Amino acid sequence: MNKILYVGIIFLMVVGTAWLGWAADRGDRGGSDWFRQFMGEVPITPPIESHEDPLLETEGIEVTATLPDYPWVRVSEYRGYVSEQCVTCHSGIAEIGAAHPSSFGCTVCHGGDGNAIDRESAHATLIYDPEAGTGKRNPSSLSVASRTCGQTYCHSGHAGSDRNHIDRVRKSMMGTLAGMISGLRYQWGAQGRRESKYGVRAIEDKDGVVPVARGALPKLQALPIFRSSSSRRAQESTVETRRESHHIGDSLLRERCFQCHLDSPGESGDFRSQGCAACHFTYATDGLYRGDDRTIPRDEPGHPALHRMTTLTPDSTCMQCHKSYRVTNAASMETKSDKTVPQESLPASLSGFGKVRQDVHFAAGFECIDCHTQFDIMGDGNIYSKQHEAVEIRCETCHGDADSRPFIAEVTDSHDRVIRLSHSYTGEDNSVGDWMVLSFRQRKLTNVKVREGQIVTFGKRTGRVYPTPLTIDASAGHNIPGHKGKLECAACHSQWVPACKGCHSTFRQGQTVPSGAAGLENSWSPVGGEIGIDSPSLMVGPRGKAAPMLSQPKRVLNVFDEHGNPVAVMGGEGDSVGVYRDWSFTNPHGYSGGRLAYTLNPHSTGKQVRTCVSCHLSSRALGLGEGDLRIGLDSIGKSDTLRPLVRTEIVSGRSRLSPDATVTLHGEPVAGVSQAGARLFNQKEINRILKVGNCIPCHDRYDDPIYQNMSKSYAFEKTLDHRNLRKRILNQQ
């Protein structure tokens, strides 16, 4: 008997070993996954109790895909399912996209139980952000994306950092909102430095490379939670894992400004998703689903139009947060640059405001993604304080400057990212031997290159080819010595700047938000969103060049307690005391928090540039405000005067300046600047600019030779020959 038992055991071991080897080779039917689970390499999917409806005919998806650049990595190995039953219920759902075909299955991105066919069991382990408030349908929120989009060899874990999108996006300006946070907190006296200290969530740059010279930061703390004095006393016994703030600015940031964070939910009329899907999914204007998945209601707003991912983000998605550029988008409907946009074509928030002239790039058919790179949008792996530090393109990137052409570099490696990324574009792919234009960061652009001796830009979505004019071949206006190296291109080529018309906020303690959401002790009124148009004023930008200044009115904020009484500004919690309705905030440098000056590129570029008079004889262009400017006889500006057009500040005794002034004639700032390195014009610069204005009535052309050597021209102006010449010209008129 023992002999028979022994022989039986040997037989079973031989057969079992052979079967395991056979199973390890059966990748097409899941044998290798079972074998690897048996060996402890991947988790075994636990069996579940069947809840199958006997009347429901099951459908399945075979998870057979491998990763394109890693053919040895099977998608089924991420969750352990070689087949899934999700489409039993989600019948008719669209394929997510060519880069994520149906053979990827569902659970690799969404999590969940791929074997279950009842809702509760299948959805119990879905991956989502419960704080997003959008249900369980989005696995790409930044708080969970590392478990979905950011799994190794998907959009993280690559040798090339440019492919590790999740790490980069979390540290990007859109991921941290560091610029918005630091700007408001600095202006309102909540922090003493212009550089960012806080982000939407805590983040640290752990890759070992922090280019401090470019403004990069090693880390950001999470913005503290706001508690008023009364609520602080009421919650002294509660346990808080986040720092508390008692500055009202942090409340405004959280309750209103954070609506543009990647993980914030979209609003009615501006429906969008969160995290990665915020840019890579599109919504109908009514937020209703248009697909064939029978489980998604057709009358419930807040669903994507289709279960379809887009690699190339459309402008309509960009405009949902970058609302001021809707002006540019509306202007692109024009056919001529001197026409006014029809009122019916403008967004509702723009109706009634003046002329909008089209941006030449939008008019030609460019989209946002045709100029901005993936590093501009998704970050380059560093944490920055301000937008200008993060953006790697400049006008000079494609157009060069008055003395040089754009920098270019040859593609020599078949694995270069510019080749890989071009596969997602419409039109011709990049290849080895192509010469690509380099960005400000010396990285190759993926759609701007040399073709037949000319620099051209390819529309990433459209495939259209745009010849790129070069500054070095343009008019003589770029060669004025007084301008070269001192002006951003946008200083002359911007036709207008957006003007906020509704920056009036009200904060009421002890009330819930208007929607009636429970658990909120305070309420902010909706922030006004009207946007108008102004001619650009100028200031010195962060790179030391004159640049357009965003046109803004004084901020107005009212704060009331639960009895409707106005509350002191900061009282014992801050540095200054006043009444909110008088807006007494001051930033750490002593400038009003209600007046703000900062530079931007308004995306209103025109081929025609602003006139000489619009700068050199304009009080508004210099930041002095609207008024009657009179230039005195002395050359140092001591006797120059400005009579404001609007005299409300003078009549009330509050100021001798125009209400929209950001600086005085003597170069004294009256507005705060939150961009490091940026500033308003000083007195020497104001005098020098206005002094040129004396010459313009006779010398009103950019190519006038007097502007090639102003010192020599000023010396000649004092001679008798010039006086006689001027008399002769005036007598002829």
Residue where a domain stops, chosen among 435, 450, 478: 478
Determine contact, residues 317/348, Cβ cutoff 8 Å: no
How does residue 35 score in pLDDT terms, banded at 50, 70 and 90? very low
Question: Mind giving me the DSSP string for 277-320?
Answer: HHHHB---TT----S--TTS-SS-SSS-SSS-B-SS--HHHHHH
pLDDT confidence of residue 60: 87
Give the integer Cα–Cα distance in Å for 86 and 22: 29
Check residue 245 and give its pLDDT.
Answer: 80
Phi, psi of 596 (to 5 degrees): -130, 140
What mean pLDDT is reported for the chain?
81
What are the tokens at 494?
Answer: 């911007």
Assess whether 721 and 586 both reside in one domain: no
Residue 329 has pLDDT above 80, yes or no: no
447-472: average pLDDT: 96
Specify the higher pLDDT residue, 535 or 477: 535
Indicate whether 612 and 729 sit together in one domain. no
Q: Are 423 and 533 within one domain?
A: no
Q: Are 401 and 471 in contact (CB under 8 A)?
A: yes
What pLDDT shows up at residue 694? 86
Tell me the CB-side half-sphere exposure of residue 226, using CA atoms within 13 A.
18
| Pair (474, 493) in one structural domain | no
Same domain as 539, residue 610 = yes
* pLDDT band at 388; cut points 50, 70, 90: very high
pLDDT at residue number 171: 96
**Per mean pLDDT, which range of 13-27, 254-268, 452-466 is the poorest?**
13-27
Last-in-domain residue among 434, 450, 478: 478
Sequence-distant (≥ 6) Cβ neighbours of residue 336 within 8 angstroms = none
pLDDT in tens, 580-627: 444 346 676 777 667 788 899 999 898 888 888 999 989 999 999 888
Is 455 in the same domain as 546?
Answer: no
Residue 37: helix, strand or coil by DSSP? helix
pLDDT band of 350, cuts 50, 70, 90:
very low
**Count of structural domains within the chain:** 4
Give pLDDT, residue 631.
75
pLDDT in tens, 77-134: 999 999 999 999 999 999 999 999 999 999 999 999 999 989 999 999 999 998 887 8
Q: What is the pLDDT of residue 187?
A: 84
% of the chain surpassing 70 pLDDT: 76
Distance of alpha carbon 429 from alpha carbon 336, whole angstroms: 33
For 625-684, how does the pLDDT look when each residue is reduced to its tens digit (9 = 90+)? 888 888 776 666 677 888 888 887 777 666 788 888 889 888 888 888 989 999 999 999
How confident is the model at residue 72, as a pLDDT?
95
Whether 235 is covered by a domain: the verdict is no
Residues 70-87 pLDDT 10s: 999 999 999 999 999 999
The distance of Cα 236 from the centroid of its chain, to the nearest Å, equals 38
3-state secondary structure at position 539 = strand
Contacts of residue 590, Cβ cutoff 8 Å, sequence gap at least 6: none
The model's pLDDT over 679-708, given as tens digits with 9 standing for 90+, comes to 999 999 999 999 898 899 889 888 899 999
Stretch among 221-230, 233-242, 401-410, 431-440 having the lowest mean pLDDT = 233-242
**For residue 620, which of 436, 724, 456, 496 has the smallest C-alpha distance?**
496
| pLDDT at residue 725 is higher than 50 | yes
State the pLDDT at residue 232.
41
Q: What is the pLDDT of residues 261-302, one digit of tens each?
A: 888 876 666 788 999 999 999 999 888 999 999 999 999 988
Query: With 90 as the cut, is the pLDDT of residue 408 above it?
Result: yes
pLDDT confidence of residue 43: 42
CA atoms of 209 and 203, how far apart (whole Å)? 15
Instruction: Clarify whether residues 570 and 641 are in a common domain.
Output: yes
Greater pLDDT, 55 or 35: 55
The upper half-sphere exposure of residue 591, i.e. CA atoms within 13 Å in the direction of its Cβ, equals 21
CA distance 265 to 245: 24
Q: Based on the domain organization, do 716 and 639 belong to the same domain?
A: no
- Of 446, 478, 510, the domain-final residue: 478
Q: Classify residue 119: in a domain, yes or no.
A: no
Report helix angle 248-255 to 178-187, nearest 10. 150
Q: Are residues 485 and 631 in the same domain?
A: yes
Side chain identity at 619, as an amino acid letter?
S
Strands (E) across 478-581 are located at 497-500, 504-509, 522-524, 531-534, 537-540, 546-549, 556-560
Q: Which residue is it, tokens 């940026």?
A: 678
What is the total residue count of the chain? 733
The one-letter code for the residue type at 48 is: I
pLDDT digits (tens, 9 = 90+) for 563-580: 777 766 544 333 444 444
Structure tokens at 70: 């890693």
- Torsion of Cα atoms, 692 then 694 then 697 then 701, to 10°: -10
User: Is 615 contained in some domain?
Assistant: yes
Contact 106, 65 (CB under 8 A): no
pLDDT tens digits along 135-183: 888 999 999 999 999 999 999 999 989 999 999 999 999 999 999 999 9
Q: 84: which strand partners? A: 61
Please check the confidence at residue 235 and state whether its pLDDT lies above 50.
no
Residue 524: Cβ within 10 Å count: 20
Whether residue 714 sits in one domain with residue 694: no
Does residue 540 have a pLDDT over 90?
yes
Query: Distances from the Cα of 481 to the Cαs of 178, 573, 693, 714, in angstroms?
Result: 37, 51, 16, 15
Residue 19, domain extent: 1-34
Burial class (CB in 10 A: 0-12, 13-18, 19+), 87: middle
Sequential DSSP letters for 316-356: HHHHHH-GGGHHHHHHTT-SSTTSPPPGGGS-GGGTT----
Q: H or E stretch including 123?
A: helix 119-123
Percent of the chain past pLDDT 90, that is, above it, reads 47
